[in-house]
Amino acid sequence: MQLYKSRDFSAFFQDTFAFLKQNGKHYFKHYFKVNGIFLMILMVLGYFFTKFYSELLFGGILQNNPNAMDDYMNDNLGLFILLLFVFLTVGLIAGIISYAYTAIYLKLYIKNNGSNFNTKAIIESYKANIGKLFVFLLCGLLIAFPILIVSGIVMFVLAITIIGLLLLPLVIGAISLFYNMTLMEYIEHKKGIWDSFGYAWTLLMSKFWTAVGSVGLFFLMGYLVQNVITLIPYVFGMARLFTTIESGSNTTQDIGGTMMVIMLIVFFITFVVGSILNNIVQLNQGIVFYSLKEDQENINTKSIIDQIGSGE
């Protein structure tokens, strides 16, 4: 598939799913190879956090002990702080690596005229861009505060009206697309970080409603799909819990254990499904980026003209 191609609203959707159909297996296979170890660590840490939370919450409720939270925190405060520190550290590293995967993958896809590259090439690209990734992270955090303030005000205004609620995914989509396009442009090694932010803003404004509308709808679809998938084990788990309580044959520990199992299942499913859906949204943003970039610079058009000229 040609990424440098002018597209309209419907083409953003069609080409995103077409790309997944053609390259989805290759894309996700290498995604889990590159990010698998970090995802496993986060899932293990998530297990301990979920266990900690369920014991803290349901221990007090089921035992009818109003001081259970204070007692549990006093007994496990050191462990909680350690887990929180490790989780934040690993989460930050895993987050930037996972976030950059789509940008690096699509860059290699263009360089190799398709998906004929392996995990080693992806890792080498990560190594070549490791400095840029952390510069992007720091600068992205720096400008996040004014962006969050402005977007927070806009989202609050939208949230107080029924029609405005439907536009909330557009705000989220605009911010996400802005950051993603900045990273994609930055790892092209042609612009500095602030020039990349400026260029991403130019692209965003060039077809604002078309681009942001596409990304916003992908966010909305991903949100709905994730919640429906997550709701299934939750409903079955809660039904089992109520059956256990009504039977009266189980102890407090059994009920607490059942509740923890439900929360763990929901957490793991949410984590895995969320990772996959997030990648699909980012692929859509990549399609949008290269389309807007083609409209701005005519990269593919110039390449075709050059090929015709060389043929003569």
- How many angstroms separate the CA atoms of 251 and 62, rounded? 10
Residue 3 included in any domain: no
Residue 309 included in any domain: no
Domain range for 169: 10-301
pLDDT of residue 283: 95
Residue 306 included in any domain: no
Residue 1 included in any domain: no
- How many angstroms separate the CA atoms of 60 and 286, rounded? 47
222 close to 176: Cβ distance less than 8 angstroms: no
Residue 131 included in any domain: yes
285 close to 176: Cβ distance less than 8 angstroms: yes
pLDDT of residue 305: 61
Mean pLDDT is lowest, of 161-165, 241-245, 282-286, for: 241-245
Averaged pLDDT score across all residues of the chain:
81
Residue 145 included in any domain: yes
| Rg of the chain on CA atoms, in Å | 23
Residue 18 included in any domain: yes
Mean pLDDT is lowest, of 10-14, 145-149, 166-170, 191-195, for: 166-170
Helix, strand, or coil here: 46? helix
Residue 311 included in any domain: no
pLDDT of 253 > 60? The answer is no
Q: Please state the pTM of the whole predicted model.
A: 0.82
Domain count of the chain?
Answer: 1
